[in-house]
Structure 1
Amino acid sequence: MKKLIKFIVASSLLFLSGCWDHSELTEYLFVQSLAIDQNKDGTIRLTTQFYKPAPKIGSAGSGGGESFFNLETEAKTVFEAIRDVTIHTGRKANWGHVRFIVISERIAKQHSVGEVLDFFYRDHEPRLLTGVGITKGTAADFLNEKPHVENTVSEQLNETTKTGSKFSAKTYPANLFTLGKQLHNEVDTAYAPFLKKEEEKVNSIYVDGLTVLQNGKIKTILSNKESKSLLFTLNEFQFGIIEVECNGQRPEETFEVTEAYTKTSLSIKGEEIHYTIEPKIQASIGELECTNLETAPQLEKLNERIENQINSNITKLLKKSQKKNLDVIGLGNKIYKSEPQFWAEIQKEKVPYFKKTVFHVKANVNVINTGTDISKPFHQK
C-alpha cells in the first residue's frame, strides 16, 4: 500500500507546470524613487534611483559604498524613458518597491499630474501607496541629497510628508491612491506636498505647505499656516500647533491640538449656498506669554481667543480661494452627493458656486492641560 501511495505521488509531479516563465533576480534593477522633469524641448527627463545590487562575497570592492545609484533617461513619454533603462544597465526596472515619486513644479504647471503618472496606474508593479510630491525647482536634485536618519532619501521623503501632516498639519500626505481618487472627483481638486531645498545648504530638504491641483495642474500653493486651516476644513487635522498673538502683537502664545474633529453641514436656500464648518478641538498649553489662568473666566477667555484665531485663519483661506474661484475644500463634491440635481444645474450653467457660497466658521476649543500648576507665564515672578 505504501509503495502504491509513493507511486501515485511521484506520478502526479509529472503534471506540475513548474516555473517555465520565471525571471531571475539578476535580470532586474529595483527602483527606490523617481524624479520627473521636463526639458526645454518638451521631452521627459527621468532620474531613477535604484537599489545597488550587493557584490558577491569576497569580490573586489565589496566593503562599503552607496547602497543606491541614479540613472538619467530622456524620451518623449514616461514609459519610453522607463524602458530605456535597459539600454544603459542591461536590466529591466522593477517598480514593486518604489517609495516616492517627485515631480517638478514646472512640469506640474504645464501638464496634468494624472497624465504624467498614467503609467503607474496601469502597470501591475507599482504600489498605490507610493508617495508623491511636487518640488520647487528640478526634481532630480532632490534624489541627490543624503538622508538625515533614514537609509535612503526616498524613505526620508516618504516619512517626512506623512509625519509632517500627522504631527504638524503643515502638509497633506499624497500617494498614488489618494491622488488618483481626488483627480476623479466632481471638482477635480487634489493635494500634494510641496518640497523645497534651502539654498547653499546640503541635505536641506523640507516640506513647505502643499500644492492644490485642479484638472491635474498646479492652481495654487498653500503656506504651512494655510495648510493647517485646510486640514481643519477637510477634517484631516490630527496634531499640530496653533499660534495666538498677544493683544494683536508678538510674541505669540502656542497651543498644541491633541484632538480635533470638524463637523460640516450644507444648506441651500433658493440659489444661495450656505456651508458651516465647526472644528471641535481639545488643546494643551505649549507656551504662555501674556495670559494668566487663575480663574475659570480667564480660562474661558483663553478658549475664546484661540477660537477666534482659528476662525480667522480658516476665513482668510476661504476668502482668498473665493477670489480665485478655486474650490480648495472640495465643496462641489458635497453638493454633488447631497443635492445632485442642483449640482447638475451648476455644471450646466457654469455657475461660480464657490465664489458665491456663504461660509460660517464656528470653532469650539477646550484647553484641557496647562502642562504645569503655574497659572501664569513661567518667566513672570
Structure 2
Amino acid sequence: MKRVVIVISSLLLLAGCWDRRELKEIGIVSAVGIDKDIDTGEFLFTSQVLNPSALKPEAGGTGSPVKLITTKGDTVYKAIRNTHQEFDRKNFYAHNRVIIISEQLAREGILPILDGITRGREARGYIWLCVTKDSQARDILDVKQQGIEKVQANYLESILENQKLNFDVAVIKLNDYYKKSLKGGIDPVIGVLKMIVGSGDASQQVKLSGGAVIKNDKLVGFLNETEARGYNWIIGEVNSGVLTLPSLLEEEKLVSIEIREARSNIKPEIKGNEISFNVEIKTSGALVEQQGEGTLKTRKEQYDYLNQLEKELEKKIEQEINNVIEKAQKDLKADIFGFGNALNKKNPKKWKEVKDKWMEDQFSNAAVKVKVKADIGTRELLKEPLKMKD
C-alpha cells in the first residue's frame, strides 16, 4: 500500500514526460498473467491495473483496488496492444511485480512467451516469474487475497520474497531464469502458485507451493514441498526454516528445529568415463520447541540427547536430498541442481565431451553421495517443556 502511494506521488512530481493529465491517461500495471484460449489457440493476456482512487481511504475511495483487463491475440505482444481497444488507459509496466504463466502454456515453452513481453520492454529483469498449477493465470490474479495488502500483486510479491524464511518452495526472478535457461548445465525451477479452498469468508486463496521443473524451456513436472526443500538444500538456498523430528523424550511427540545457517558444496569426481558427485551439506540450527516431557539432569545427558537429535536431523536431510535426486534423475531427467555446471567448472574439457548427451545418459546414471553435518545449539536445550503442576 505504501509503495503504491509513493509510486503515484512520484509520477505526479515528474516533469516533462509525465504531468497530471498524462497520469490520468495511464494504467499502472502491478501484475500480468498469460493463458491460452483452448478454443481459438490465441494468447490471453491479463493486466492487473491499479485503481488509485480506491487506494486512498482518506479521500473516501471505494471499489476494488485493481481492475483486471484480459485481451486476446495470436501473439503475446498483439494481445498486449489489444488492451488499447478495451481499456481507457495506456498500460504502464515499469512497476509490474510478477509474471504468471499458466501450466498449459508452460508445457509448450516459456521463452517465446517472455519474448513478447521483454522485447517490447513490458517487463524488467528483477520481477518474479511463476507458473500456475491446476488453474489459469487470470484466476490467480482474480482471487481476493487473504493478507493485509489490498493489491493482489503486492501480496504475491511478499509471499515470494518470504521464501528466505521458508525453504519448502522454490522461486526465481526473470533474469535468473534467462541465465539458467540459456547457459546450460542446469535446469531452472520456477515458483508455483496454486489455488486452495479457504475457510470462513475466503472461499479461495492463493498459495506458493513446491516448484515447477523446466527442461529445454518446457514444464516437465512439479516438486512437492518436501522435494523443493531437498532441492534447496543442494543448491544452497536454505536461509531459514523449521524441521520437525520425533521427540526422543516421549513417544508420539515432536521437536522443532529452526535452521539458521546452511552451506552446500557440489564436488564432481571423474574416474575414466565414470562421473559421480559428492554433495556436502553443513547446517546449524536451534531447538525451538519440545513437546515431549522429560528432564535432562546432567550435562552428559544433555550432550547425548543433543547428539541423538543431530543424527536424526542429518538422517532426515539426507533422505529428503536423496529423494529429490532420484526424482530428478529417473522421473524428470532434469539437472535442476547444476551438476553439469559444477562439472564444467572443474573440468571444462570433460564437460565439452559429455554435454550433448548429459541429460539422456550421464546425468541420469551418475552416482551421487550425500553427506550432511548438522549442529544444534544448546542454549534452548536447557529449557524444559511447559507442563501442568501436579
TM-score by length of 1: 0.85
C-alpha contact 1:280 1:363 (8 A) present in aligned 2: yes
What is the correspondence of 1:98-177 to structure 2 with a 5 Å cutoff?
98-109=96-107, 111-136=108-133, 137-147=135-145, 148-163=147-162, 165-177=163-175
Task: Trace 1:1-381 onto structure 2 (pairs within 5 A).
Answer: 24-40=22-38, 41-54=40-53, 63-109=61-107, 111-136=108-133, 137-147=135-145, 148-163=147-162, 165-187=163-185, 189-199=187-197, 201-245=202-246, 251-289=253-291, 294-324=301-331, 325-349=333-357, 352-371=361-380, 373-374=382-383, 378-379=386-387
Deviations 1:143-185 (A, max 9, x none): 112232113100111111220x211111122221111111112
Aligned-residue identity in percent: 24
Counterpart CA distance in 1 for 2:236 and 2:194 is 26
* In structure 1, C-alpha distance between the alignment counterparts of 2:255 and 2:18, rounded to whole Å: 65
Letter in 2 for 1:238: N
1:220 Cα deviation from its structure 2 partner: 1.7
Paired letter, 1:240: G
CA shift for structure 1 position 188 = 5.2
The structure-2 alpha-carbon separation of the partners of 1:253 and 1:373, relative to structure 1 and needing over 3 Å to count, comes to closer
Find the residue that maps to 1:263 and give its secondary structure. Answer: strand
Unpaired segments ≥5 residues, structure 2? 1-14
For 1:368, give the aligned amino acid.
G
CA distance in 1 between partners of 2:328 and 2:253 (Å):
29
Query: For 1:115-165, what per-residue CA distance to the aligned partner results, in whole angstroms no more than 9, with x for missing partners?
Result: 1111233233522111121112111111112232113100111111220x2
CA contact (8 A) 1:31 1:97 kept: yes
Distance 1:75 1:295 in 2: 66
2:5 aligns to what?
none
In the TM superposition, residue 378 of structure 1 has moved relative to its aligned partner by: 4.5
- 1:123 maps to a residue whose letter is G
More helix per residue: 2
**CA–CA separation in structure 2 for the residues paired with 1:44 and 1:173:** 24
Task: Tell me, yes or no, if the aligned pair for 1:292 and 1:298 is still in contact at 8 Å.
Answer: no
1:10 maps to none
d(CA) in 1 for partners of 2:181, 2:381: 47
Letter of the aligned partner of 1:295 in structure 2? Q
How far, CA to CA, are the matches of 1:340 and 1:272 in structure 2? 16
Q: How has the CA–CA distance of structure 1 residues 105 and 251 changed in structure 2, closer, same or farther, with 3 Å as cutoff?
A: farther
Q: Hey, which bits of structure 1, 4+ residues long, moved more than 6 A?
A: 20-23
Count of matched residue positions in the alignment of Structure 1 and Structure 2: 356
What CA distance in whole angstroms lies between the structure 2 residues aligned with 1:265 and 1:318? 15
Unaligned segments of structure 1, at least 5 residues? 1-17
Counterparts in 2 of 1:91 and 1:319: CA distance versus 1, 3 Å: same
From the CA coordinates, give the structure whose radius of gyration is larger: 1
- The secondary structure found in structure 1 opposite 2:171 is coil
